[in-house]
Structure 1
Amino acid sequence: MNAITSRRQFLRQSFKYGTAAAAGAAVAATGLQAIAPHKLFAATAQPHAWPWPYAKLDPEFCRKLGHDSYWSGKGCSYAGFHPIITALRAEVGEPYYSLPTELMIYGHGGGVGWGMLCGALNGAAAAISLVCDKKTADMLVNELFAWYSDTMLPTDLSNQYAVEKLYGINKCDQIIPPCKSGSPLCHVSSTNWCMKTGEQITCTDRKERCARLTGDSVAYAIQILNDNYDKKFKPLYAQSSVATSCNSCHGENGENVNVLSKMNCVQCHGDPHQGK
């Protein structure tokens, strides 16, 4: 597919999703106007049963929208959530029109800059948990976190879109050096990249890296959601051998039960047994 065709497809889908969102907003506004002001809060709307309905989505459209949403000023967690909900508004309709995607804004920078769970993962995982029961969501989110920890991000495809100027927002058309975080934590992911490249955390390239890996995370979340919908999901990633080794002693079935984590402990803490 050439760049012109791809851009036209992206614009067509943008129009489709944008039109659906606008229609939903109009319906919601009309409904509120029909209710007498003094009865607005007395009205009892029936909540939609969880999990909410899912329809197969286009991961590549949402990869691009995830990248562009990062630059909206609402942050990476919003950008991890917004594309999936926007696409579901177009494919399913309600109850997705009634859900403001801004609810995930808090997750930027690992939680208002605290460097905890990567916001892209936070947003995408929230969407997974919205459309899957707990057992399924645990399985898919576990896969998403393990994939993120073990993948060189941004991906080659995400970089290629930037070089070919296929994003709606093109801040940089250069390849951003990829880096494997080894962890789902924002702080670890971003700092590892800065140490590898020699760049500062405030630089535009670091932000563009986050925009691209946000799109990558959204696309992978949709890929595994689609596979689960087709009943063909198979996990490809697992916790590291280091974490497995640590948990054999310090996990719930070990002798010294004081750790609750699937992350690579040694990556940040070193080997506490070295020299013993």
Structure 2
Amino acid sequence: MSSDTKVAVSGVEGAAGQYIQGTGLAVPPLPWPYKKLDPEVVRRRGYELCFNNDNCMYGSAAALLLTLQETVGFPFTCIPADMFRYGAGGVVGWGTVCGAINGSGAIIALVCKEYFEVIRELMAWYATYPFPSDKHGAYCRFESKVKTIAYSPLCSDSLFKWGAEAKESIRSDIQKDRCAKVVGDTAARAVEMLNARLG
């Protein structure tokens, strides 16, 4: 490959439009290619990843990312899913933006040029959706008896409102199950939005 088509990268790996040192693979500029995904596959994966790792941002981002790695492959295979673990509990436990939105938003930004518009729509949906949905019955750990609307994109508002209405501890397995459903529902909604725009 000629010098004008292959750029040697020194000390910068994975920069958009640059070659990853030692691989001969160029990371393309954003947005990256997208293929239509099955929202129910992502919903279940988001639930399982969140419940098993007790991490909402990891659950939503990894559900989307790992499915894109399987469906599209490169360049999504350049991103480690573990980088999204910092967003647990509304960003390292601070109760700010829910990790279900934060993780889904990160992946939306990779594939959609109009990501501001799409993420805003996802946040508005989240704030007015009666979580959790009834679509987890085949694999969830607990039956959902209480649905709540947060009227906010914040982890703390969503979680404490649910805890008060459900009369459950916010550090219980029932809460883990509820938040895992929120993650699955949000990641699945992100897929529905992306499929409509890009699929």
TM-score (ref. length: structure 2): 0.85
In the aligned structure 2, how far is the partner of 1:82 from the partner of 1:176? 27
Alignment match, 1:184: 153
Alignment match, 1:52: 32
* Sequence identity (%): 35
Equivalent residues, number: 179
> Is 1:142–2:129 an aligned residue pair?
no
> Is 1:197–2:166 an aligned residue pair?
yes
Alignment match, 2:6: none
Contact kept? 2:108, 2:115, Cα under 8 Å? yes
Query: Please, which moves more after superposition, 68-77 or 188-197?
Result: 68-77
Flag structure 1 segments of 5+ consecutive residues without an equivalent. Answer: 1-40, 231-276
> Match for 1:121: what amino acid?
I
- Which one has the bigger helix percentage? 1
Determine helix, strand or coil for the equivalent of 1:109.
Answer: coil
In the aligned structure 2, how far is the partner of 1:138 from the partner of 1:191? 28
Could you say if the C-alpha distance between residues 73 and 117 of structure 1 is closer, same or farther in structure 2, counting changes exceeding 3 Å? same
Contact kept? 2:54, 2:176, Cα under 8 Å? no
In the aligned structure 1, how far is the partner of 2:43 from the partner of 2:94? 25
TM-score (ref. length: structure 1): 0.62
> Is 1:86–2:66 an aligned residue pair?
yes
- Equivalent residue for 1:171, pick from 134, 137, 141: 141
Flag structure 2 segments of 5+ consecutive residues without an equivalent. Answer: 1-19
In the aligned structure 2, how far is the partner of 1:47 from the partner of 1:219? 27
Determine helix, strand or coil for the equivalent of 2:31.
Answer: coil
1:77, CA displacement in angstroms?
0.2
> Match for 2:141: what amino acid?
K
Q: Which structure 2 residues correspond to residues 7-18 of structure 1 after superposition, within 5 A?
A: none
Higher relative contact order (CA 8 A, sep 6+): 2
Could you say if the C-alpha distance between residues 176 and 210 of structure 1 is closer, same or farther in structure 2, counting changes exceeding 3 Å? farther
User: How big is the alpha-carbon RMSD for the aligned residues of Structure 1 and Structure 2?
Assistant: 1.7
> Match for 2:93: what amino acid?
G
